[in-house]
Amino acid sequence: MPLVSSLMLPLNNAKEQFWNLWLRILNNNLVKSPANRKKTAIPIAVVLASIYFVYRKLILPPPQLHHIPRAGFFQYVTSLFKGRPYDEILKEITDHGLYTAFGSSGWTVYVTRPESAKKLLLKTDLFPKAIMSKAKKETIAGKFLMGPNIIFLPHGPQWKGQRSILNPAFHRSMPIRLFGELAQKLFVEIDKKTDSPIDAFDTMTRWTLDAIGIAGFDFDFNAIQEKDSVWVVRYEKITNASVNPVFMLFPFLDSPYLRFLFPRRARIHHELDLFLDKMQEIITHKRAVLANSNGETTVNKVTNEKDLLTLMLEAAEEESGNKMSDEEIKSNLCGFFIAGHDTTAIALSYAMYNLATHPEVQKKAREEVIKVLGDKPMDVLPTIEQIKEMPYIQMIIKETLRRNTVAQNIVTRAVPEDTDLDGCVIPKGTRVTMDMMGLHRNPKIWKNPDEFDPERFAPGGEAEMAAKKNGMAWMPFSNGARMCIGVNFSLNEQRVFLPMLLRKYELSLPDNSPHKEKPVISGIGLQKPVNLQINFKRRY
């Protein structure tokens, strides 16, 4: 019998569900050796007892939220640990209005209608960014992503100062040539394996990691050619640990005082410290290079394009009286991994899946690409002018981001006073967020929302009508003042990669693929495809 089970006493049904959930969690995270079990028996018992008494009142939402439909605590949390696709959970807990669910921020109200989403995103005085709890600052996700950056800072002078520097930096960052050259580099690796299916998500993860590393701060992870290199493995460990459901739902377990209970977790913290030290080293070097450049521009020697860090530092110099500390720059660079790596890798994986499962769409898209780039048996790097001449590719990207929503929700807002939303009173202190998948799959907005149909985004099509009628019906990058600053960076990655991919390969699913009916997905926060194998047939 596992050690944790031997600590249990008979409980009523509700308590039993709670304890059984924790049994699974702790048994999966503790070191298995008998010696360690014996040493940690008493601390585990104390932790379990503390958890129960702290959280027993949170099994149901606060009384002031009882009037809003909800996902049961155990229904929702257990689904997360089982890795159930979020779209399945969503259908069980909402009629596409407001609903509440227990998440990493506690009980939160989720919005799935465009009218409510518009108010939530545009009224920053009514719905300011929620302040991150002290417990979260000690977690892997907190240390990596939730620092003083424009994603998590509340609306105020510090956020506005950063935005004034980052806006021009991102507008100037157009590494189109770099994206094309990295695509060529990836094709060399794909060509070595075209006799068997290839994991699309793993492939895109490595490609986008090299893209954000070089374009972001001139650091080459070399993930395309060396998937098991030290920095690639380190980064993967950090990102995987940041969405561990145990520590997302109960962040206090990640504190330095309890971390000894989870040795593997402590090792990931060390890996993260090494990663952040490397980021600091790069920032220090960039500042020194700029200080000694005598006004000369510093660009990538291969692509002749400036990296984002250089543009940020230059923009800070141009902003009179508005500087960014190393800590702010480092925090924002970590935040850019969300826009330039994880989300883009997932989006491209889903785009490849949709092309593979809709041969008529793939054929039409390839014809458009060939019309613009030609059909000579050689790689062609599209220019920024040429990617604007491919509207059908753009429609595919938009429909993929709608149908296969990458991010589950936006960073939570906090309600400073009682506020009406969707005809419902949201009490003061409540946390509110937008459920992107709920919005993008809302049948009151979209016809046959579960189907992939790029024609929705044709001129005068369904998406255009929905925007006129409902306002914010399509928002994969959020909207308003807090809209994702990396939107153009991500979209340009996709606009360059997909045309080059379609010229080079024909895509299809293996006959035994479990993704035939719909993509098999999993994940918390970001919805990732699971073992998405795709056939790549060379055209030249």
Across 456-470, average pLDDT: 91
Q: What is the pLDDT of residues 385-403, one digit of tens each?
A: 999 999 999 999 999 999 9
What is the residue-wise DSSP string for 64-80?
GGTTS-B--HHHHHHHH
Among residues 233, 311, 231, 309, the alpha carbon closest in space to that of 277 is found at 231
More confident residue, 248 or 178: 178
Average pLDDT across the chain, whole number: 84
pTM: 0.85
More confident residue, 203 or 297: 203
Bridge partner residues of 538 (DSSP) = 505
Among residues 435, 428, 473, the alpha carbon closest in space to that of 100 is found at 435
Q: Where are the domains of the chain?
A: 135-538
Lowest mean pLDDT among 419-423, 432-436, 511-515: 419-423
More confident residue, 342 or 375: 375
The domain 135-538 belongs to what CATH superfamily?
Cytochrome P450 (1.10.630.10)
Q: What percentage of the chain exceeds 70 in pLDDT?
A: 82
Q: What is the pLDDT of residues 194-253, one digit of tens each?
A: 789 999 999 999 999 999 999 988 899 999 999 888 999 999 999 889 888 788 878 888
Across 182-196, average pLDDT: 92
- Tokens representing 273? 């410290």
Alpha carbon separation from 223 to 220, 290, 306, 499 (Å, rounded):
8, 28, 21, 22
Among residues 154, 167, 122, the alpha carbon closest in space to that of 488 is found at 167
Binding residue positions for heme: 484
The confidence band for 41, taking pLDDT boundaries of 50, 70 and 90, is: low
Cα–chain center distance at 26: 26
List, edge to edge, every strand of the sheet that includes 99-103.
99-103, 106-111, 431-434, 413-414
Binding residue positions: 484
Question: In the predicted model, is pLDDT for residue 513 greater than 90?
Answer: yes
Lowest mean pLDDT among 2-6, 313-317, 475-479, 486-490: 2-6
Across 289-295, average pLDDT: 76
The confidence band for 49, taking pLDDT boundaries of 50, 70 and 90, is: low
Return the pLDDT at 408.
82
Q: Cα separation of 367 and 378, whole Å?
A: 16
Question: In the predicted model, is pLDDT for residue 297 greater than 60?
Answer: no
Q: Cα separation of 495 and 218, whole Å?
A: 22
Question: In the predicted model, is pLDDT for residue 254 greater than 50?
Answer: yes
Residue 482 DSSP label? G
